[in-house]
Chain A
Amino acid sequence: MSTPQSSIFTGPLVGSALKESFVKLDPRAMIKNPVMFTVEIGTAVMLVVTVLSAFVDDPSLGTFGYNSAIAIVLLLTLLFANFAEAIAEARGKAQANTLRATRRDTTARKLTGDGAQEQSVSSAELGKGDLFLCEAGDTIPADGQIVEGLASIDEAAITGESAPVIREADTDRDSVIGGTQVLSDRIVVRVTADPGGSFLDKMIGLVEGANRQKTPNEIALTILLSSFTLIFLIVTVTLQPFAAYANAPISIAALISLFVCLIPTTIGGLLSAIGIAGMDRALRANIIAKSGKAVETAGDIDTLLLDKTGTITIGNREATAFYALEEDKLAEFNQLALISSLSDNTPEGKSIVALARKQGAAESPRLTEGAAFIKFSADTRMSGIDLADGRQVRKGAWDAIKRWGVRSAEADKRYLEERVSEIAGNGGTPLALAVDHEILGIIQLEDIIKPGISERFERLRKMGVKTVMVTGDNPLTAKFIAAQAGVDDFIAEAKPEDKMQYIREEQQLGKLVAMMGDGTNDAPGLAQADVGVAMNSGTQAAKEAANMVDLDSDPTKLIEVVEIGKQLLITRGNVTTFSIANDVAKYFAIVPALFVVAIPGLDALNIMRLGSPDSAILSAVIFNALIIPFLIPLALRGVKYRPVGAASLLIRNLLIYGLGGIIVPFIGIKGIDLIVNLFL
């Protein structure tokens, strides 16, 4: 809590949250939170008693001054709890508003009839299934799927990513988001959601609290908290006859104070704020979760399916070295490698060009003028160039080049073959480069593993999450990369069915599986997985099947999702523990205060040496109220998750929130009592 609080409590947010705190006093809203609802009833009773004590002369009612002090503190307890929820909602709203700013009403060019006529309508009038047209400069009026054409689109408004993206019909990248801007070309889009029904609208609803439904774990916790409330209701109600027997009558103010102090108001007041803040954290990470349950489930994930490309490795394979057969021919190798790849637009081809340039090769118009590029074909599995001077340059897989017919000496071939298997064994992909059936040498392509990724996997392992790499590579290469990146398992030569099969098998063992995907063929897997995250750039089918959408289309986001889920549960668990542990000190403050007049011996229980029975009770209630705003930053930021293993994490949290929960109120109540006694 040492970090600046200004980011949480910014001016305008606080203002609206303060107003909301009073609005939320409405009992119809309050009843959703049983713990705070009982506090509200207690407050109402206390207000009546306070008013009565002003007019009726009955000593058992207590003094007006003291009663009003207790009543005010109780009211503050309620307001603090409401404020916690309101500020969490306000933050969510602020976040949502920035997103919503992108969906101002725009004019849509709706296509009617058979798509021939164009009509200008407001974007709000577009319904599911409608077609609209967008050209360069237009803002896309609604979420949809491109049915015709391709366009480059600026999605910065949604994702914050400034580089434009390409979206094209009939590919895995055919969906567009309302509010983004078309930079070039022309597309026809079919609307996929009615106004207000898009993913973003749903997410905004979730963070704003309007459509927020309690997650299963939150429901279970609410039940536990309600039963604690019930226990203390029984304790408080039965205390009256006990006290009568002991000739130690208890005032209504004291009874209600005891009750409110004992019931878990701290967690009761912060519970929904914690839940909303969890959704908010997901949104801040640019993840749209379709339900709170999905975020909660993410914390439980046992197995994580990650695509190799883009997640574990940077983009695609890159050329990392050239091995010329003869050392002195390296310069020629460089140049031919460069020239043969110039028109090869695959990422591999580009990387060969880049490496050759880096090693000093330059284009030679003399050779390329009039040259014929040979495109890669599945038949020959080679690509290359027929140079102007008649030389044929080819590059391709080792066996493909061999099949082309190689005239090299046997000793050279054997030498190169060793090199080839060495590269393959190290997880690389060897390409042979040949000129006129004479092999010049080998190009080494390698997957570049993302820096820091193995640390992230290590972190996941400590969380108990198993990582599985999914790749189209052959098993040998896959195994090597898996080992290098530190994933626990891999699926090599993966087809979409294999992913599905793997997910099913893991689930059969009772494990929860998360996967990320973008293609239409990923949709079944995304639906089958317990947490399916679709990339925003992915197809509509993938997005429909998934229960989260990542606006950044960043495959490593799954890791963050897991942590956000865990953080949510941990925060709830720790605040619960803290709240219940607080009761020990509150008892030691209130119980002696209740009975010390009738039973002086019980002063021995007043171990805090609080000033007077009245100040003891008042201090306990004040502490109980103040602890809520004190913990709001914790509730909103969440308790940091540390992947240190379950046992050490439990011990650590027990010490901080359990033991701390016992000690802190002793200090707090004593401190408040010292101050209160200055005024009494």
Chain B
Amino acid sequence: MTTEILGVGFIILASALLAWPLGTYIAGVFRGDKQWLDFMAPLENGILRTAGLDGQRQMDWKQNLRALLGTNAVFFTLAILLLLLQGYHPFWNPNGFANWEPTLAFNTAVSFTTNTNLQHYSGETGASYLTQLMVFCWLQFVTAATGMAACALLFRGLANRESDKLGNFYSLMLRSATRILLPISIVLSLALTATGTITGFDGLTEVTTLEGGTQLVAGGPAAPMVAIKQLGTNGGGFFGPNSAHPFENPTYLSNILENVAILLVPMAMVFAFGSYLRRRRLGLLFFGVMTVLFVTFVSVSAYQETVGNPAMHQMGLATADPNLEGKEVRFGPAASSLWGVSTTSTSNGSVNSMHDSHTAVSGGVFLLDMFINAIYGGVGVGFINFFVFVVIAVFIAGQMIGRTPDFLGKKIEAREVKIAAIVAIFHPLLILAGTALTSYLQTRNPDIGWLNNPGFHGFSEMLYENTSAAANNGSGFEGLGDNTPLWNLLTGSIMLLARFVPIIGPLAIVGALAIKKPVPPTAGSLQPDSLAFGTVLLSVILIIAALAFFPVLALGPLAEYFTL
């Protein structure tokens, strides 16, 4: 047990320690500082020229937003076409997979364009290697880079003094991919290959099992995709069981590598904020607020998994304590809990255990992670979500000390509050409306066949699926028959809205802040890097998330917990 806890502590600490220098490096990339990777510049310029994009022009927030939406629209169109027409391409499809059903293609194209990677399909039984690489793997790079570039625009807007120019989205996105994600992915995929994660282009391999029967085993270029899936908070597994599958995540060591990879860039983005704005203390405070929540959630979940399921105890089924159902024995309950909290808080969505089989409280914790969706959060977008909480916290705290609120010297006024409030309520709106619709349909027709479990747990399954889509997380509670046209269209629409509204809103806020004249701090100003403000921020996060979702948590995980 002690070893397990030490393992968990090690992963968190290692991630934070690696994230610190990475954050400084990322800030440098965003600022365009000189770097050893400058030899990439001709390649980057070549790509921009080929695409006919101007990577030099300094653009305001609206122009950058158009660039962001435009490129993402192209990504989506290409992805859905490749999926719909998968059956026609003659190469890299050794298993001869056919065209995709339209609603599933829509859902999947949205899912990968939005960096969600919610998978209503199973990779090894539906996606050709070309699809895996050219749709999934490609999008895992560029959508992560999209998020980082959006965050870079946000940093710039906060740093600006009366200038509306936030930088160039194309160049920021490209450099996020070539100078941050790509190099780390290469290192990680080599390391993973060394620990036994597979890489290859063969089709199904026929193997003889120990019992003497034969079995077809799927293979493929898993290691590179696993690397970017974790680093870019994508989470879309090469194989259906995701990182619980031994080809993706073979050992305890590979598990450590992958878990660090999940947390690395999201944590680094927080430090990058501190470094970019030369407000390292503030960056640390934000990191501290997130970490308080993170460590608390990990502790609660790990404790619950270790204690196990009371119902099993009563039946005398589980003599040993831990709840091992749905978990890989090579990882154990603590590491599975850590992964669960990591993947849900960072909007990653890869899994190394069955979230459906975690205890009720752990399930609730995972949901809470996604309700908040800003504990480190998805690459780039996590910090952007966090920024929305910061705006609201600043607005409330500023008044409590008798000044009209400002953040980093920029006055937070009606326009900023309005946008932040819309973004903040948008998340619960999507989740609650989606879950209300599916609950209603399920109640009206109990034989609809979606739920593996009745009652509270079934409710949690529907809630989880909607939440996962709205948080652009992509993990599944599973146990839900989700590859139906209704779920495909519903979660597809939720993912689309949940990705872009929370990018547009905050960009509009910083667009407005960027042109404001900064107010110099005085003894009466709110010090955002004070513990007192950290407390306000923590309370605002908890209150917005907890207050909006308390009833659903009560009806799902809490009802289950108290009833067991």
Contact = CB atoms under 8 A, between A and B. Distances in A.
Contacts of A463: 402, 523-524
Interface in B29-60: none
Interface stretch (B74-82, B362-370, B542-550): B542-550
Interface residues of A, number: 80
Interface stretch (A163-171, A220-228, A546-554): A220-228
A571 to B, nearest CB: 9
Given A227-B422, A510-B409, A602-B554, A587 B547 contact: yes
Given A227-B425, A244-B440, A650-B400, A509 B555 contact: no
Contacts of B397: 573, 650
Given A511-B519, A587-B547, A647-B532, A300 B425 contact: no
A583 B547 contact: yes
Contact of A224 (B392, B409, B555): B392
A240 B436 CA distance: 8
Residue in B416, B422, B558 whose Cβ sees the most chain A Cβ within 10 Å: B558
Interface in A655-669: 657-658
Contacts of B525: 464, 646
Contact of B439 (A242, A576, A592): A242
A566 B554 CA distance: 41
Contact of B401 (A217, A296, A512, A649): A649
A573 B555 contact: no
A96 to B, nearest CB: 26
Interface in A561-595: 565-567, 569-570, 572-574, 576-577, 580-581, 583-584, 587, 591-592, 594-595
B435 to A, nearest CB: 7
B523 A464 contact: yes
Interface stretch (A112-120, A229-237, A331-339, A358-366): A229-237
B398 A573 contact: yes
A92 to B, nearest CB: 22
B403 A566 contact: yes
Interface string B521-541: 011111100111101100100
Contact of B548 (A221, A235, A240, A572): A235
B401 A241 contact: no
B511 to A, nearest CB: 17
Interface stretch (B105-113, B149-157, B426-434): B426-434
Interface residues of B, number: 67
B432 A238 contact: yes
Nearest to B459: A245
B563 interface: yes
A557 interface: no
Interface class of chain B by DSSP: helix
Given A244-B440, A577-B396, A239 B551 contact: yes
A657 B400 contact: yes
A653 B400 contact: yes
Nearest to B444: A244
B417 interface: yes
A241 B443 CA distance: 8
Interface string A509-530: 1111000000000000000000
B459 A654 contact: no
Contact of A567 (B402, B456, B535): B402
A466 B522 contact: yes
A595 B456 CA distance: 12
A341 to B, nearest CB: 46
A569 to B, nearest CB: 5
A511 B409 CA distance: 10
Contact of A245 (B404, B413, B442): B442
B524 A646 contact: yes
Given A244-B439, A573-B399, A646-B524, A658 B539 contact: yes
A243 B559 CA distance: 12
A240 B432 CA distance: 11
A99 interface: no
B424 interface: yes
A570 B400 contact: yes
A174 interface: no
A274 to B, nearest CB: 11
A227 B543 contact: no
Given A591-B550, A601-B559, A646-B401, A651 B532 contact: yes
A593 B539 CA distance: 25
Contacts of B422: 227
Interface of A: 216-217, 219-221, 223-224, 226-228, 230-232, 234-235, 237-246, 262, 296-297, 299-300, 302, 461-466, 509-512, 565-567, 569-570, 572-574, 576-577, 580-581, 583-584, 587, 591-592, 594-595, 599-605, 641, 643, 645-651, 653-654, 657-658
Given A231-B544, A238-B432, A647-B527, 6 more contacts: A243-B555, A245-B459, A302-B519, A462-B523, A592-B554, A599-B456
Interface of B: 392, 395-404, 409, 412-414, 416-418, 421-422, 424-425, 428-429, 432-433, 435-437, 439-440, 442-443, 456, 459, 517-520, 522-527, 530-533, 535-536, 539, 543-544, 546-548, 550-552, 554-555, 558-559, 561-563
Q: What are the nearest 9 A-B pairs in CB distance?
A: A464-B524, A573-B399, A464-B522, A566-B402, A601-B562, A227-B421, A601-B563, A464-B523, A573-B400
11 contacts: A220-B413, A220-B414, A224-B392, A226-B421, A246-B456, A572-B399, A573-B400, A573-B401, A591-B550, A646-B527, A647-B531
